[in-house]
Structure 1
């Protein structure tokens, strides 16, 4: 790390110590980069409540909450957690859509010194149970207990979740407790009513204490817990602020899912550190998003490329006043050049950038706000202050010459120091010297800008969400009529990649994509459902005849793309 990086990191670590309050904060203009100190997570709302108590912090549906309101709710939830016996270091899982309750619960966990475990709310079965078991979660917040209660209770009864005690549900539910029930089910209203805000005792977490864990799947398909510290969570939010030049005057559109690393840092941490306003959407709806941009005067619009495409194609696009927006951020996959050209034409006056990040590294690469158009649009940026990047041979770790494709590797204070409860994967993903192996294929230019050219792994990148084929293949193998199955990604102009299921059917069987999707609906997440189905007589094999040739010139994907009879899912109107 260079001297500038070390000095900045040390300064940020100093700023995040207890005692930073409104007297230490400085306002900054939207056209200038962030240059204020970080606020400890436990005191984010308290700090801004003392400075601007009546300012709107969070808008969600018809709820409009000020910083003073949020300070009170977080204190009440903190007291409720402490009254329930939760201690610093305990893990509590959040598997819910974006909501007021999600924001309050997360910040209450940081205030109580607990660790938030993020779980995709559409997960069922092992996708849901593994993160709970891996982290020893003591409680789980969900939108509705109904869809998950039986699965979680069964796992608890069989000894699979010994630490789990309670499910908190945002919707009305019949509360259960007592000797005959393996779990306590409690509504959010009941939970928070038990807290006395004046009794809350915020815990002064150390910089290197863990604040949250996000699980990410690797080449093996086995989820890995990536834990981030309190310092990392605050510091990473300011990387976004520096790149986008955001400040207290900004209004963020919060449609990205907060269980994902992009949404977590960009929306759950950044706006409140800045004293800005966040407009929350539980899930993406294009027409509603356009309405909110106009009516709430959104200025910052971070999304996946797919969402911008949907906006521009929507019937309301030309009818809404979108002139309040001044900056946008794209991530998820590298979009085609014509997408940026179209965005530039249809969102005049907006400054858009691409960036790269991961659960393990946070937002590692950004293009500066005033970078050249070619750099902002067609690379994923350069290393943020304090971080280092290189392109190296994936096996040897030897650094490669500029312009030579190789594995993108990152090191610095924002990179996780370990995978939770998984020393084998920790060792496998780090080279000597602390370089983290990202698994992405990239090139590096003379100015330090990185271009992603592919992936080393076989993961499918569907609309910015990475999907492990082996997870789907295991479930599909149980579908009647499947002899052999192989799941691959195929190019999609909107999503980046589609999920294509290739099947060698049992003799005499005819398989249907709609039936396969219905079969998988209760077994995998909604965004893991296949987009295409291709029936084949046999799979092409690599030399030796064992492994399937997926991406060779005569490989599976090439054969699929040449087929006009593959079934493609069409959403029913």
Structure 2
């Protein structure tokens, strides 16, 4: 498991970059191993080292598993699964974070089965759509989550739609484990076999199930190197395990350094501060809203956070001011990660040697083994550095396709293996990536492209704006016109005339929003991304009433 030195050669079309991000980097070689084999290697090398900590508030209840114990229990799970199901079956999980989720993830991988994560906040129709879409064989679930009766919802889906669906409650975990007490032969799992069907976050529409294979272990290991996550380090996981940031990026980065995975049940900034101090956490993946909540927590000053080496920010843009504040308050590095579910997780990452400019204005450089091109969305021609277009990647780690959706797979992936990300971005001469928005979010006004991210960045600069989103609305004259939806920083009414003038002073006239609306809350997906399609729905339904400002 000790990574040998390999040359860092980001595959960026049109950009020659022989120098590693920090001058000298040691990246782990790409190997044909499965999740199960990765865990076995860790147990052989560091069997007595703590692998998993149940990060609950009560210290007396913080259970711990060594790598040897984690492997032993994962194998028991595999035996129990194989007594009831077949390799290749889809095993869904609808739960908040819990140690059993981690054990089940490795157990299903050892059994050659495919895990399908689901958000416990889903309503019945949402959960049913995912279970039916992936043709789930079994569903592991918690009984309740906040105000949701997850167990009752699962039973209703089984009784009305999926009579063959096996339901296993985590409250019956010990009984389930007991059924795997006697070993059974494990299948010969291959590295290119599917291991997770990860449903997309659904910011632009109904989620799709991306089939990810065992090769997804490699990009998080490279992220660990970029961040300077040390061998035997401690990772605090606050990301939900139903998201790729938890189940793939955070967990696999930790295993790659034989580290300790401290798992929170859900995000609680006060508990996060206590866990950092008590467990000596060195790194974590947080979205910007989490970072703000932690820095603003009333007990922040009461905790020793000196063990934190870095905070990896992802899933949403990180304002430079927030990065600076984080460095001042904690004294750690701020790292930026860009990824996508269909890519199998991380695509690019900043590195320990990057300066303030790279951290404030880029998403780092493509990870080793990741080919990245910027293409013209209309002609598919590869564009030179400095020009904006659609981001396309090619890597052994990208998804196998969308489960049961061949047409959408063909739309997203070219015959020669390139994945169209749907993100608009550019590369500079050194190979650093910048993202400017989503291709589907692009507004076409009178035949001219307008990129919402550019307008949103200008609005963020106004002192009265806490959050903003820009979308296009149909217009008879222009085809589309620009609507800006904003939230005030203190809840008071916004002066749209002032915001309009603020934009006019900084943007070309055709980019300035013609319509304005204010909201007290934005529709978000579980990782903090604004769901712009919901804003469109709110406009059609009259929940948002745009005001014209000329």
TM-score range relative to shorter protein = 0.7 to 0.9
**Equivalence for 1:65:** 65
Mapped to 1, the partners of 2:288 and 2:204 lie a distance apart of 28
Distance 1:156 1:453, change over 3 A: same
**Equivalence for 2:328:** 345
SS of 1:168's equivalent? strand
Mapped to 1, the partners of 2:175 and 2:465 lie a distance apart of 41
What is the deviation of 1:292?
A: 0.5
User: 1:127-526 to 2 correspondence within 5 Å?
Assistant: 127-144=126-143, 147-158=149-160, 160-161=161-162, 163-164=164-165, 166-171=166-171, 187-196=172-181, 199-216=183-200, 221-230=205-214, 232-348=215-331, 350-361=332-343, 362-431=345-414, 433-458=416-441, 497=467
Mapped to 2, the partners of 1:79 and 1:240 lie a distance apart of 32
Distance 1:79 1:449, change over 3 A: same
Tell me, yes or no, if the aligned pair for 1:210 and 1:228 is still in contact at 8 Å: yes
SS of 1:205's equivalent? coil
**Bigger shift: 87-96 or 237-246?**
237-246
**Bigger shift: 546-555 or 127-136?**
546-555
Deviation digits for residues 192-248 of structure 1 (CA, Å, limit 9, x no counterpart): 12211x514333211111011101156861321111111x22212212222123343
Tell me, yes or no, if the aligned pair for 1:258 and 1:268 is still in contact at 8 Å: no
Deviation digits for residues 474-511 of structure 1 (CA, Å, limit 9, x no counterpart): xxxxxxxxxxxxxx9997799985689x9xxxxxxxxx
**Equivalence for 1:97:** 96
Mapped to 2, the partners of 1:307 and 1:495 lie a distance apart of 19
Mapped to 1, the partners of 2:69 and 2:233 lie a distance apart of 19
Mapped to 2, the partners of 1:555 and 1:449 lie a distance apart of 26
What is the deviation of 1:370?
A: 1.8
Match of 2:48 among 42, 47, 54: 54
Distance 1:401 1:94, change over 3 A: same
Provide the TM-score with structure 2 as the length reference. Answer: 0.75
SS of 2:51's equivalent? strand
Deviation digits for residues 60-89 of structure 1 (CA, Å, limit 9, x no counterpart): 1321221222122112211111222x1111
SS of 2:475's equivalent? coil
**Equivalence for 1:112:** 111
What is the deviation of 1:452?
A: 1.2
Mapped to 1, the partners of 2:434 and 2:457 lie a distance apart of 20
Mapped to 1, the partners of 2:371 and 2:140 lie a distance apart of 37
Deviation digits for residues 29-70 of structure 1 (CA, Å, limit 9, x no counterpart): xx9645377553113443333333321111113212212221
Tell me, yes or no, if the aligned pair for 1:366 and 1:382 is still in contact at 8 Å: yes
Deviation digits for residues 298-318 of structure 1 (CA, Å, limit 9, x no counterpart): 011221122111111111112
What is the deviation of 1:111?
A: 0.6
**Bigger shift: 490-499 or 51-60?**
490-499
Tell me, yes or no, if the aligned pair for 1:76 and 1:195 is still in contact at 8 Å: yes
Mapped to 1, the partners of 2:412 and 2:79 lie a distance apart of 39
Deviation digits for residues 245-303 of structure 1 (CA, Å, limit 9, x no counterpart): 33432000011112111222222222123321011101010000000111111011221
What is the deviation of 1:458?
A: 3.8
Distance 1:387 1:541, change over 3 A: closer
SS of 1:311's equivalent? helix
Give the unaligned 5+ runs of structure 2. Answer: 1-5, 12-23, 57-61, 443-455, 486-508, 523-550
Tell me, yes or no, if the aligned pair for 1:333 and 1:496 is still in contact at 8 Å: no
Tell me, yes or no, if the aligned pair for 2:10 and 2:367 is still in contact at 8 Å: no
What is the deviation of 1:343?
A: 1.4
Distance 1:32 1:292, change over 3 A: farther
**Equivalence for 2:87:** 88
Deviation digits for residues 306-338 of structure 1 (CA, Å, limit 9, x no counterpart): 211111111111221100111221112222221
Tell me, yes or no, if the aligned pair for 1:243 and 1:368 is still in contact at 8 Å: yes
SS of 2:200's equivalent? strand
Distance 1:168 1:284, change over 3 A: same
Mapped to 2, the partners of 1:209 and 1:43 lie a distance apart of 13
Mapped to 1, the partners of 2:40 and 2:520 lie a distance apart of 54
Distance 1:298 1:210, change over 3 A: same
Mapped to 2, the partners of 1:303 and 1:220 lie a distance apart of 22
Tell me, yes or no, if the aligned pair for 1:236 and 1:265 is still in contact at 8 Å: no
Total equivalences in the alignment: 456
SS of 2:180's equivalent? coil
RMSD value over aligned CA atoms?
Answer: 3.4
SS of 2:208's equivalent? strand
SS of 2:440's equivalent? coil
**Bigger shift: 244-253 or 288-297?**
244-253
Give the unaligned 5+ runs of structure 1. Answer: 9-30, 172-186, 460-487, 503-538
Tell me, yes or no, if the aligned pair for 2:481 and 2:514 is still in contact at 8 Å: no
